[in-house]
């Protein structure tokens, strides 16, 4: 097994390579505006650092969101393109699941990421591997924290409301994404196809018909 995983659903442009036992290499750049420019060089970096070739990869895994439309589609389109080129399967894993897995928590908690517009994407977990509900998008004050720990960049933006746990990861680092996917694949747990989780409509819309101008 050699899993190439990456995520572009948050400001973290992140990629990692996992051999089924451990993360061989991982690279992350925090830049919310350059997903398309940074993803391929980031993938090349982890391949080079691990000593692997792209042809050695046996599975592609991309974070499927939720996240902003433009950034999210960069990773998913790349996953689909590599899958076709290499002839290997591509899968999608919820981006919030990667944050949860990276937290290492064994108790009930929430993950919250920045959804912009003063909102957060969030989901509820029984432990680092088990999502119970979500993902959803809400204003921070509408998230039912109920005394549970909250991890992720969304919580860090609104600590007075969500009570951010400072020692947990802010982003869905690809090492966690790859390890979670490799674990599920080894167990025979079905993974989803690489399709986006959109909780909003895209900001860009097709222009309507021009208005008639009357004299």
> How confident is residue 214, by pLDDT bands cut at 50, 70 and 90?
low
- Tens-place pLDDT, residues 158-201: 999 998 776 789 999 999 999 999 999 999 999 999 999 988 65
Q: What is the mean pLDDT of the chain?
A: 91
Nearest CA to 62 among 189, 152, 150, 180? 180
- Whether the Cβ atoms of residue 7 and residue 1 lie closer than 8 Å to each other: no
The pTM is what? 0.89
- Mean pLDDT, to the nearest integer, of 36-43? 95
- Could you tell me where the beta strands, DSSP code E, fall in 23-159? 23-30, 59-63, 90-93, 109-116, 119-127, 130-138, 150-151
Nearest CA to 101 among 204, 172, 6? 172
To which residue do tokens 């990861």 refer? 169
> How confident is residue 205, by pLDDT bands cut at 50, 70 and 90?
very low
- Mean pLDDT, to the nearest integer, of 16-24? 96
């Amino acid at each position: 097994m050699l899993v190439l995983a990456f995520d572009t659903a948050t400001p973290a442009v992140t990629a990692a390579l996992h051999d089924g036992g451990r993360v061989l290499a991982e690279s992350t750049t925090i830049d919310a505006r350059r997903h398309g420019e940074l993803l391929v060089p980031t993938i090349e970096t982890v391949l080079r650092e691990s000593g692997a070739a792209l042809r050695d990869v046996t599975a592609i895994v991309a974070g499927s969101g939720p996240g902003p439309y433009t950034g999210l589609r960069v990773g998913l389109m790349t996953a689909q393109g590599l899958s076709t080129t290499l002839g290997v399967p591509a899968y999608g894993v919820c981006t919030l699941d990667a944050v949860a897995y990276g937290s290492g928590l064994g108790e009930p908690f929430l993950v919250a990421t920045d959804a912009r517009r003063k909102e957060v994407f969030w989901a509820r977990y029984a432990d680092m591997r088990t999502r119970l509900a979500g993902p959803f998008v809400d204003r921070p004050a509408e998230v039912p924290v109920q005394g549970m720990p909250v991890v992720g960049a969304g919580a860090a933006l609104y600590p007075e409301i969500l009570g951010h746990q400072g020692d947990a990861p802010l982003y869905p680092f690809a090492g966690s994404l790859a390890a979670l996917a490799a674990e599920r694949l080894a167990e025979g747990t079905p993974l989803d196809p690489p399709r986006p989780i959109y909780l909003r409509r895209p900001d860009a819309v097709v222009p309507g018909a021009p208005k008639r101008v009357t004299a």
